[in-house]
Amino acid sequence: MNGNNQKEEGAGYGALLLALCWWGLMPLYYWYLKEVSAPEMLAHRVFWSFAVLSAAIALKPALRQQMGNWRSFVLALVPAVLLSANWVVYILASVTGNALQASLGYFLNPLVSAALGIVFLNERLSGLKAVALALGLAGTFVQCYARGGVPVFAVMLTVTFSLLGLARKVWPTRNAIVSTWRETVVMMPFALGYFGYQTWHHALAFTSNGIDASVLMMMAGPLTVVPLALYAYAMPLVSLTESAVMQYVTPAVTFVLALTVFDERLTAVDLTGYGLIWCGLALATYATVRRRRLTLVVAPANAPANAAPNAAPATHGAQTMQGAQASGPGGLNVTFLSAHAPAHKKTPACAGVNRFWHSEGRPEPERRCGQSDA
């Protein structure tokens, strides 16, 4: 049995690493299609993602029952706008020689997300995380000085992705596939309208750049959905603490890609700014790991009021939750709870597939609204 668990855990870590590297290498895909305008690439990503997700939903009757009503699509409007903005900025950064800024944006994202949690969700800030935020802010100022202005792509990626995480926290969703499908439905009028406009003016790259480019544009859908599926498969099988640390693989891969493939330059001042941000991330990660073991102890209604606090877990048991949240195309925003157990609880490999189809894999630590959007 131990051998099977280790094998499943290894498969989970492999799938997670593949998904994170996949997202980090996405600038290569956009660079190859740099002759295609960013709005058209966005339209293709929306349209073909919608097609792939619709096929997935069609294969599962249970998903069709979760499509929701008009309110669900209204709630999807804000995430759809933020996701569209994030995608188009990421595409522009990839094709204009600013992959380093894309990497910087996703390195900054955990720190900005923590700041939004403090401001809007009344989350508490530990001393180490306060220092981490200060280091991230200092690193950003150094980057501004190095570039003689604000690193626009990095800031826009960070802001849009962090706000997207906040929106999905305020309006939690029950199913990753259905919620992402709803967001593509909301974006579809833009995609179809843009295709119609470009076709009318005989300027649609899909029909004028050759069959190879057309096939690559169609691949935008699978390239968006497959890493999401890999991530959803992996999360039930791996330690959530370790997976949170692994999230930095994505911007790290993009960072190396920018220096080695795109020949972007990194000055000493740039490196100083990155160093401050990396130190902030290391402190934030350490603070999270140190406080990761949280247990929700649910006492039965008939428990005696004077019961010893330490006896409750032994007598009545404890209810624990583990969850993770993923969004966005090139990076992830993770929140998690884990038990006091010395090792994480692994679930069978089939649970990863079930989670891909049926759940978002992230029971909310604390819901901020009365109803879900699904």
Distance CA 160, CA 89 (A): 9
Distance CA 102, CA 87 (A): 11
pTM of the model as a whole: 0.70
pLDDT band for position 310 (cuts 50, 70, 90) = very low
- CA 67 and chain centroid, separation: 22
Contact of 101 with 254, CB cutoff 8 Å = no
Place of tokens 């709005």: 39
Confidence at residue 337, expressed as pLDDT on a 0 to 100 scale: 29
Distance CA 347, CA 25 (A): 29
Whether residue 372 has pLDDT greater than 50: no
Percentage of the residues of the chain whose pLDDT score is greater than 90: 15
pLDDT band for position 313 (cuts 50, 70, 90) = very low
Distance CA 91, CA 302 (A): 57
User: Would you give the DSSP letter of residue 306?
Assistant: T
Distance CA 167, CA 206 (A): 33
For 103-112, 192-201, 289-298, which range has the lowest pLDDT when averaged over its residues? 289-298
Q: Which residue has the higher pLDDT, 291 or 120?
A: 120
pLDDT in tens, 338-370: 333 344 444 444 444 444 334 333 333 333 444
Place of tokens 């032994």: 314
Averaged pLDDT, 227-247: 73
pLDDT in tens, 12-66: 888 888 988 999 999 999 998 988 999 999 999 999 999 998 888 888 777 776 7
Whether residue 319 has pLDDT greater than 50: no
Averaged pLDDT, 263-291: 82
Q: Please give the single-letter amino acid code of residue 248.
A: Y
Contact of 179 with 374, CB cutoff 8 Å = yes
Whether residue 71 has pLDDT greater than 70: yes
Distance CA 244, CA 325 (A): 10
Question: Two tokens at 334?
Answer: 């993770």
Place of tokens 């909301």: 186
Distance CA 231, CA 226 (A): 9
For 44-53, 117-126, 245-254, 344-353, which range has the lowest pLDDT when averaged over its residues? 344-353
Distance CA 219, CA 221 (A): 5
Q: Which of 37-46, 101-110, 137-146, 272-281 has the highest mean pLDDT?
A: 37-46
Delimit the domains of the chain by residue range: 2-300+309-358
Could you write out the DSSP letters of every residue in 101-137?
Answer: HHHHHHHHHHHHHHHHHHHHH-----HHHHHHHHHHH
- 329-352 exposure pattern, b = at least 16 Cβ within 10 A, e = fewer: bbbbbbbbbbbeeeebebbebebb
Distance CA 164, CA 80 (A): 9
